[in-house]
Each structure stands twice: as structure tokens, then as C-alpha cells.
Structure 1
Amino acid sequence: MPLKMIGFLRASLIMYSSLLLFEATYLYNNRYEEQATNTLLMNQLEFVHITKTGGSAIEKVGAQHGILWGSCHWSNFTKLAAKIGLSKVGFGVGCNTPDFEYYNPKHILRSPWHNPPKFLKKYVKNSQNPYTNAELFAVIRNPYARIISEYYCPWAGFQAKYKKDIQRDKDPNDPVNLNLWAQKLVSTVKNATKEYKMRTKNGALTIEQIKSEYILAFNNFINQVEYVFDGDEVVIQHLIHYEDLGKEFDLLMKKFGINATLPSKKDSGVYTDKERKLTYRDLDSKTIKMINDFAQPDFEKFGYRMVEDTFGDEYSLRSTFITEL
């Protein structure tokens, strides 16, 4: 082969190698820049995980983009999977690098990511509170639909999948079981909320007091207004409707310059029960009235329509409350 041709091939090879190196460096820098940008922005925008409002899907998307939201501030899902006897890869929302200490207390701070922000403000140091100096967003949902999701929750629902040492001998898709369970939940949370407000009427409980109390140790079905408001103050500035979750989440991310989108529920659901068959239309009149009585502030503040004892064909779960993302 002529020397001229060899020189040409050598030069071409060097140029091609340089292009590959440039492309790899460009892609790496872009990815690094995205993660750095998202890390910076996560300190400006924090997610408040109201139970059964699609929050795990949001935490999962955050984890995929290097953002710690909700339970990811406290949880290592690899360790959690091992603890409850699971070895499934990708269990939970997929985050394993918490930045706050978590010791699974048996009191009001049992699941801090499910606590209303005003609770963390009262009982947690600013250095251990992700909401300090951040703008907050959350998802709101129709209480009738939300309690169905609570019922099928694998952590605290009926014959919960991840609870140990419980019998699972009843049909979860029997409306009788749904209504008995829902009535008990509403009654329990209502009494706990009433007791907590009575005990804190003259000021917050001390850390020593809440450690000895079981009041609101589980945050399931706490009224959503308890999260959004602290007295007359709005503490969660950005509210997303569950009924338009993907669309409104994407709009909020765009507003904050965060490069993240939420896939469909089919693709992004974390603890979705594919065997669930009951809906809010299976709630009986007694359960409906109990929900109306307890969750009336949610219906009124967030524009969800209450029914007296049954759902007509025209009933919609959608809210008339307009949010400003």
C-alpha cells in the first residue's frame, strides 16, 4: 500500500477516534449537567406525598433523574425489600441513597414523607426537614376515589400485601369487606385527628410526648387540607389534580426547568393492584355519609362534589378547583 494511502488512513482513524471521544464527552457532560441542574432545582421544589394520590410514581420519576423526593429522603428500598422478604430488582420507587436519618418510630413521625408539612415544622429540626426554604407541590384527589386506593394499599390496606402475620382469607373484591374496612378507617382517622387537635389546642406536643403517643402514627386518609394549610396559611404552593396527573406534573416540571415527565399510570404505577375490581361506586350509603362528614373540608376547599347516598350516572370525580401551577 502506498505511503500516501497509509498516511491518509492513519489521519482518518485519528479523526474518527477524536469524534468518538468528543461525542462521549459531550454526552457525559450533558448527563452530568442535567443531574447537577436537577440536584440544584430539587432544593427549590419539594414533593409532599399525600397518601394514595400517585405519589410513589412521582418519587420514582424523581429517583430516575437524580432527585430525592418524598420517601427517597429517608428510604433505602434495597434494604427495605430485604427486610420484608423480597428480592425483586427495582422494588419500590428505586431510590437507595437517603439524605436523612430514619428509625421507623411508632408515633406521629412514623412515615415523615406522609406527614403534613406543619408536623415536620413542629417536630423536626430544620436540618432534617426537606421542606425548609423550598417551594412545595402535592397531588390532590377526590376523597371517594382516594379511599378505594387506601383499601387496596399493599402497606396499610385491607389484608395488606406487605404486612406480616395477618390472615388473608377474605375476598378483597367483596363490597361488604370494602365498606366495613372503609368505615373503620374513617372512624379511626377522625378520632385520631380530633384527639390530636384537642391535645395541641394550647400548643404543640413536646418530642417526649409524641414519642409516647400513637396519635396519627399512620397517615392514611388524613384530610388533604391538613397538608395544604397551616391555619390560614397556604404551605403547599403548587397543587396537581390526580385526574390530570401526567399533564399537570409535566407542566410544573417545565415551569421549574426540571427535565422530567411522568409516564402513564400503566407504565409508571409502583404499587398498582392489577386485581382490584371495586370502585367508588361500590361505597354504600353509610360509608358515603361517613366520608362526607369527615372529609367535608376536602370537598369544599378543592371543589369535589359530595353525594348524599349514591352516585348517579352523571357523577364525575373531577374537581372544579383551579390551580395555578
Structure 2
Amino acid sequence: MMIGRNHHPSIGSSFALILIVVSAVLRYLRVETESMDGYYHSVLQLLSNTEEVQEKTEHVEENRSPYLPFQHILEEFKSWETMQIKRPLTFLHIPKTGGTSVVTSAAKCGYAWGECMFPLMVPKLNCPNRPVNFFMEMHPSNNKSPINNMTDLYHPEQFAESPPNIYSWWHLPLQYLPNDQSHINPYQHQDLFAVVRNPYRRAVSQYYYRCWRFRGSSCYLGKGKNSKHNNTDTPQQMNAVLQHLIQKQQNAPLGSKDYFFHDGHWIPQAHYVYNVTSTTSSSAKRSSQNSPIINKDISTTSRLVQHVLHFEYLQDQFGSLMRAYQLNISLPQEKLNSRKEFPTNCTVADLTKTTMQLIEDVYRDDFELGGYPILSHRFHNNKPESVDDNV
């Protein structure tokens, strides 16, 4: 009996220990299984185009953030990993789509993209491997600043009267760069990628960038760069300013001085990806009264950019593209385009129906290009029915 009593505690302790271990293993397996289920569900959503998976993910599409691109637009992912690379990769910078982060990350790894392909313009980037001066090469007898000779960079028939309103040459659509043999095209003989962004969000980002960086008469956000944030930053003001600026872009003939106003920041994103002319784009077409003429399909237009990434999924898409081209470049983990010096009160949720419809009219090709949903139909009496600002 003494022996029995002495062994019972040992058996009990061992049994308890076994229970603890088994319980821990089961919890681990459950967590891992749930995690992998979520992972594979995400992969299927992203990569598969079968009817079965599409049916299963329809409810997800309906309930996801209204500002994200439709899921089927993201299927280009699967072609990047298996494509045959024949040319080097470079970047075309569409304003307000996270391009500065892309260019800065590339420069740190020894690649000259975007701004870095146009020397003497952005010394703060520490651009590597600077090419010959794009401007001086075109004007060997010019002893002045290259900016003084902008008009010569463009097709003369388009800028016979005055030079365009642009100084950041990396913000130009390719069709407006010189195309003759006497000029250097820094993008030639390379594959191009660009980043696109939800047009509603891009418009709000443009508003704050313009207002807080320049604080000009078009924004009314104070006087001088050191002025404090004040209550003039209201939804009413944002909508008024956006309507004014977007209407200016809407009324500008394609390739005119006003088309490039604010350093090209209001040019439609589709005009970078496609060789848009006066007969191809809804936002590029203008009648004699400068009113937009809608053309719903630009798919037959010559495409200039091989790879289109989405701002909303830039970390993942950028990583996949870099792996495909065997480039060891990664983006910073912090939020893209987050500027602490630009305090903001308003979001996309503050856009009125009138402003959203104007964005949809002028940038309709951008919605189609990026697969972004049209949302103005959710409005009643110029107020949103259920449009949040979550991504």
C-alpha cells in the first residue's frame, strides 16, 4: 500500500503533463490551420480565375472596402512569376501614387529610376549611376538652366505658343517626350511599370499635397509655409477646390499648357499607361466647346507601360515584380505617401456626389484601368448613403 500510494502522485503528474502537452498541440494546430485556411483563401482570391472560386468570393467582393480594385484585376500577379525577362525594368512616375517611395528605394539599391533619370533636378535623392544630362545633351550650346528650353522637348506643333506648365519631367506621359534620334529617351529599350491609385483617393491626396506644400490662392489654407493648421480645412472647401481644379483639367485640350498645370499632377493616370490621343480617351476627347466626349473603351489604344501596380496593394505587387526581374529592391514598411507635415481633416468620405461625379467623368479611364468601382450612385441628396473611408 505504501508503494501504491508513493506511485500514484507520479502517475497523476505524468498524466496531467500529457494532457497539457496534448492541449497545447491541439491549440497550435487549430491556430495554424485557421491561419493557413486564411492564407490559401487569400491566394485563391488573388490568383484563381475559376468559376467556383469566383462564386465563393462574390460575397467578399460585395463587403470589401469600396475603394479597392476589383479582385479579378489583380490576376496579373500570376503571370509575373513565370514571364521571360528580356529587357531591364524601369519606373514611370505617375504623381501621387507612391512613386517617391519607389524611386527612393531603388536609388538606395543602386538603380536610377524616375527622377533619377533626369539629372540636376532632384539632388536630394542621391541618385546612383546618373546618365548624361538629358537636357544638356539635347541643347549642347545651352549655357543656361535646362528649364529655360522646355519647349524644345515637346512636339513643336503642340507647343507653338507657350511652354507647358511642368518642371518635373519624370511626371510626363511618354508620348510627350521627344521621339527623334537627336534626343535621349531615358525609358527606351526597357520594360516599364507604373503605379495607379483609386481616383477618389488620389484627388484628395492631390488636394492636400497642393494646399499644404504650396498654400496658394487655389487652396486658401493659410499664408506661408509656417502657418498653423486652421478650421478653413473643411469638407466644403475641399469639394470647392477639387471641383475648380478638376474642371480646369476637364476643359484643357489634350497636350495644352493647362493640361500640364500643377506640374502635371492632374493628368489622368491612363494617359501614362496608354498612348492616348484626341481620339482614344474619354477624358482626352474634347469637342469644339471643350466638353468631354465619352469613349468607354481604350483597350485598343497602344499600351506603353507593361506592368500596372496598385497603390492599395503596392507592397505585395512590388515584391512580386522585383522577384520576377531578380531585383533586390524593397519598399519601406511605413505607410506610403504619409506626410506628417500635411495635417488633414477631410477624407474621401467627405466628397459630395457632385465632386465624385466630376472625378468619374474626367478620370473614367482611370477607374477602368485600375478596376475601381464607381460610387456616386450610393449618394442621396448629395450625401453618401454608405461610403466609408476604410481600406
Matched, 1:196 2:254: yes
CA distance in 2, matches of 1:274, 1:160: 8
Specify the alignment match of 1:72 in structure 2: 116
Matches within 5 A, 1:156-175: 157-161=210-214, 168-169=222-223, 171=231, 173-175=233-235
What is the TM-score of this pair, normalised by structure 2?
0.55
- Contact 2:242–2:355 (CA<8 Å) still a contact in 1? yes
* CA distance 1:251–1:312, change in 2 (3 Å): farther
Measure the CA separation in 2 of the matches of 1:304 and 1:244: 13
Number of residues of Structure 1 aligned to a counterpart in Structure 2: 243
Local SS of the residue matching 2:104: helix
- Cα distance, 1:174 vs structure 2: 1.6
Counterparts of 2:370 and 2:337, CA distance in 1: 24
CA apart distance, 1:260: 0.8
The alpha carbon displacement at 1:313 in A equals 3.8
Residue 78 of structure 1 and its aligned partner are, at CA, apart by 6.9
RMSD over aligned Cα, in angstroms? 3.2
Whether 1:227 and 2:272 are equivalent positions in the alignment is yes
User: Is the contact between residue 221 and residue 233 of structure 2 (CA under 8 Å) also seen in structure 1?
Assistant: no
Task: Give 2:95's aligned residue.
Answer: 51
State which drifts further: 93-102 or 242-251.
93-102
Deviation at 1:128, TM superposition (A): 2.2
Counterpart of 1:179, as a letter, is N
Could you tell me the percent identity over the aligned residues? 28
Instruction: Give 1:162 shift.
Output: 8.2
- The aligned runs of 1:295-306 (5 Å cut-off) are 295-306=363-374
- Alpha-carbon spacing, 1:67–1:258, altered in 2? closer, same or farther (3 Å): same
Residues 126 and 132, structure 1, Cα contact 8 Å, conserved in 2: no
2:238 partner letter: L
**Cα separation, 2, equivalents of 1:174 and 1:78:** 33
Map 1:109-188 → 2, pairs under 5 A: 110-120=167-177, 122=179, 127-153=183-209, 157-161=210-214, 168-169=222-223, 171=231, 173-188=233-248
Aligned equivalents of 2:251, 2:274: Cα separation in 1:
20
Aligned position for 1:8: none
5+ residue gaps, structure 2, are 1-84, 136-145, 151-162, 224-229, 277-300
- 2:213 counterpart letter in structure 1: A
- Which of 280, 286, 289 is matched with 2:357 structurally? 289
Find the partner of 1:101 among 118, 123, 134. Answer: 134
* Equivalent position SS for 2:177: helix
In structure 2, relative to structure 1, the CA distance for the partners of 1:68 and 1:246 (3 Å cut) is same
Q: Does 1:250 align with 2:310?
A: no
- SS of corresponding position for 1:230: coil
Q: What amino acid does structure 1 have at the position aligned with 2:254?
A: Y
Deviation of residue 286 (structure 1)?
Answer: 1.7
Over 4 Å off, 4+ runs: 75-79, 124-127, 161-164, 169-172, 268-274, 314-318
Asked if the contact 1:75/1:97 (under 8 Å) is kept, the reply is: no
CA distance in 2, matches of 1:96, 1:184: 40
Deviations 1:182-233 (A, max 9, x none): 11110111122xx126x7xxxxxxxxxxxxx554253112111111111511
In 1, the alpha carbon distance for the partners of 2:114 and 2:321 equals 17
